[in-house]
Structure 1
Amino acid sequence: MTNKQIRVLLYDDADQFREAITLLLDQAEGFEVVGNFNNCETAVADIEMLKPDVILMDIDMPGATGMDGVRMIRQKNLTVKIIMLTVFDNNKNIYDAIRLGANGYVLKKSTPDAIINAIKDVNDGGAPMNSSIATQVLQMFAGMSPGTQNYGLSEKEKQVLKSLVDGNSYKMVASSLNISIDTVRSHIRSIYEKLQVNSKSAAVAKALKDRIL
């Protein structure tokens, strides 16, 4: 029995790059490109119809930008995984993408293998970033003053959040805390609600910024 394919939806206004990524994933085992578009203005409807697991989102597109796309998607859908796949590696774009609910941030200059691995990682609950991006994220948080809120998290929720901060997937969280995947998901929904975030990367970012743990 074959494993379920990862359904990928791509938004990028650079036709040549979009076609290259589509070809890359079509030739790789375990992926299905369910759609690729040059703008994300119809992203919410696209997701409803095409039911992707992972979205690859460019930032600089005509009409609605990639940031607009993430914002629109997260107003309707909290479960689909979103990777920003972009040439931009400045602090503001990185922070805004995480704050709005992107699950990962990967540069277009990454190797094909790195892009494929990022998609697999985010689909398994990870938060993929290039090492240069991760370094900037750590520098951003290092320069922020500690917060004072604890957001009312229970001890178990703090344990789950700490495991996420450590880079563990949902399966690894469940295993390390000796609880079921469904229980992990229940705790994570509660954490998202209390922290007022809608993605793993945003929850990790807030935990670090506000020194919750």
Structure 2
Amino acid sequence: MKIDNLHLVKIGGSLTHHVKPLLNTLKSFSSEENRIVIVPGGGMFADVVRDLDQDVRLSNRASHRMALMAMDMMGVYFSDVSHIKTVDNLYDTKITLLDSSIVILLPSKVVLSTDELPHSWEVTSDSIALYIAKLLKLKRAIIVTDVDGIYNKYPGGKLLNIISAKSIRGFTSVDSYLPKLLIKYKMECIVVNGKYPERVVNILKGKKDIYTKIIVD
């Protein structure tokens, strides 16, 4: 089943306390012409898993599974504050989008069923969202976070309008595995500040705004 006019929007856990206006804006904007899959970040729930891993040295598989479940928990929270329906598999994602045009995908079941991603903290919700975009046969993912995009240096650097995945070095607002997946999947990614919901909507409309586009040369 192919769904047309589909966008994947990953909303980071850094927006936990600011997410309701963004979710409501996306819900209002969504339509048959702009269907939206929201993938949640892990946020504070993933931080608990990280801290536990540091304390007791969890196995890589256990920390990977628990971090994915943390994303599910954040998705339930997103649903509670926005009344957007949740699903936990790709089939239900597509069926739900035919009726409501927006859905929150709880990713653990999808990612664990294929088990293609490394069990590593190098892989966070950014890379997981990109992987899901690939499964949905999309060529772009939108990463919504609490900063304006990617800077040439951080802190105090200049915001980059566009950057090649091959050029990303050091600490940025996306995880370190994401550029590798972008190159592998031949996809692009846009990083945008979710505290300004209109910026996300402008991306969906194809309009210019403040954000960083990551491209593959």
Q: TM-score range by the shorter chain?
A: 0.3 to 0.5
Higher RCO, 1 vs 2 (CA within 8 Å, ≥6 residues apart): 2
TM-score with structure 2 length normalisation? 0.35
Q: Rg bigger for which structure? A: 1
| Greater helix share, structure number | 1
Identify the structure with the greater strand proportion.
Answer: 2
Which TM-score applies when normalising by structure 1?
A: 0.35
